[in-house]
Structure formats: structure tokens, C-alpha cells
């Protein structure tokens, strides 16, 4: 079932992704091959954030193709899929704000980014902003896929 407004799924979306925390994220390499890894995004409404290393494979993939596909499947009966474009955030004040968002969120969603990334102004700390072009909330079992899936796309 198509959902017209993000607000129609926002509560359920945030509840699911912030309780599952970890997701499989796929990018596309320079030879057009998919590559998956597990990452730890945090969401503010329909905007996702990922702290990552600027020297990573995913950084090279995103330079070639800015699309990412996220799959949250910790709860097999309520998976969430988010297809997004990713862009690097260079603004230090925004990097600090999201750093603090991770630092102050309760565990398991929150964690101390310094353990991995040192500081928000460290040259290898990268912040990715995720802008979804499609979000699917799936619920099993359901009489049909149409009834068990809510699909939101921005207008």
C-alpha cells in the first residue's frame, strides 16, 4: 500500500529502525557490483545519518554512485527497507550536532563516536546524510504483500 505522507509511517519507522539499530547497507562499486556491510545509522524523521571513515571502500563507491540501500531485518516479521541517496556533510557544526546525537541517544542506538572516529573534526571522520527516495515497512504475515507493506516515496 502506498503512503502519501511520511508522517503516516514516521512513528512506526523510527520505532523499528531505532530498536533494530544495525542494518545491512549496500553500495555499488566502480565495476557496478553491489557490496554490503553492516552499519549503524541514526534517523531524525526521514533523514538518516551515518558516521563513517572518509577513507573507506564505501566512500569510493559513493564517489562513483551516491545510492545506498539499507535493510533492517533484526525482526524478520517487521523488516524495514530504505533506498537513499547519500551525501557527505562538510559543515563542522552539523558534524558536531550529529556526533552529539549519537553520543546522547540511549544505548543501543547511542554510542561514543570517539571510540572509533576520535573527534568530529578528525580528517578521517565522515558524516553521511541519507535522503530516502523510498521506504518500505513490511509486516508478516499478511493476506497479501500489498496489505503487509507500506511504501512511502517523497512527492
Which residue ranges form the domains of the chain, and what is each CATH number? 2-152 (2.30.110.10)
Model pTM score: 0.94
Provide the pLDDT confidence category of residue 148 given band limits of 50, 70 and 90. confident
Instruction: Give per-residue pLDDT as tens, 79-138.
Output: 999 999 999 999 999 999 999 999 999 999 999 999 999 999 999 999 999 999 999 999
Identify the pLDDT of residue 133.
Answer: 98
Who's near 135: CB < 8 A, 6+ residues apart?
A: 6, 9, 13, 46, 80, 81, 82, 83, 151, 152, 153
Amino acid at each position: 500500500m502506498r503512503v502519501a505522507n511520511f508522517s503516516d509511517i514516521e512513528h512506526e519507522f523510527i520505532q523499528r529502525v531505532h530498536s533494530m539499530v544495525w542494518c545491512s547497507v549496500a553500495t555499488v562499486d566502480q565495476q557496478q557490483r553491489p557490496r554490503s556491510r553492516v552499519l549503524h545509522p541514526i534517523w531524525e524523521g526521514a533523514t538518516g545519518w551515518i558516521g563513517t571513515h572518509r577513507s573507506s571502500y564505501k566512500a569510493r563507491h559513493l564517489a562513483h554512485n551516491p545510492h545506498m540501500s539499507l535493510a533492517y531485518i533484526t525482526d524478520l516479521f517487521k523488516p524495514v527497507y530504505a533506498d537513499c541517496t547519500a551525501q557527505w556533510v562538510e559543515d563542522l557544526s552539523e558534524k558536531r550536532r550529529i556526533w552529539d546525537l549519537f553520543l546522547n541517544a540511549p544505548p543501543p542506538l547511542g554510542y561514543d563516536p570517539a571510540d572509533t572516529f576520535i573527534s568530529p573534526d578528525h580528517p578521517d571522520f565522515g558524516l553521511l546524510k541519507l535522503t530516502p527516495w523510498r521506504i518500505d515497512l513490511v509486516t508478516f504475515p499478511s493476506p497479501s504483500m500489498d496489505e503487509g507493506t507500506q511504501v512511502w516515496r517523497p512527492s
